[in-house]
């Protein structure tokens, strides 16, 4: 039972990476002409990455809205960031 649950949960997280409707954060990585934008979810980023949590916390202090958050990380390639995600 629990194995099936965790398998389904893992599949749901993978589906979130492909979500183009309910995301609340975009992360732009790389430099021209190799820029890629990832659509992500603040809650997951905050709990999975202390680094991204600090960035998002800083953004919340500077911009007290619930609008779409955009983060730029030009010093990381899209290939590496895909692995990180």
Do the domain assignments include residue 3? no
Provide the pLDDT for residue 18.
Answer: 80
On whether the CB atoms of residues 34 and 77 are closer than 8 A, the answer is yes
* Three-class SS state of 81: helix
Q: Is residue 53 part of a domain?
A: yes
DSSP per-residue codes, 46-59: HHH-HHHHHHHHHH
Q: Give, as one character, the DSSP assignment of residue 14.
A: H
Residue 70 lies in a domain: yes
Number of domains in the chain: 1
Q: What is the pLDDT of residue 65?
A: 60
pLDDT at 31: 92
> Is 28 inside a domain boundary?
yes
Contacts of 64 (CB under 8 A, 6+ apart): none
Domain housing 63: 22-84
Series of mean pLDDT values for 10-residue runs along the chain (85 residues):
84 83 92 92 91 89 74 93 87
Is residue 57 a part of any domain in this protein? yes
The neighbour count for residue 13, using CB atoms within 10 Å, is 13
The predicted pLDDT at position 13 comes to 83
């Amino acid at each position: 039972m629990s194995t099936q649950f965790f398998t389904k949960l893992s599949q749901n997280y993978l589906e979130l990476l492909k979500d183009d409707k309910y995301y609340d954060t975009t992360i732009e990585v790389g430099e021209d002409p190799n820029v890629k934008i990832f659509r992500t979810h603040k809650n997951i980023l905050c709990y999975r990455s202390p680094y991204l949590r600090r960035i998002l916390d800083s953004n919340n202090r500077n911009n007290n809205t619930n609008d779409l958050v955009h983060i730029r990380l030009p010093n990381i390639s899209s290939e590496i960031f895909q692995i990180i995600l």
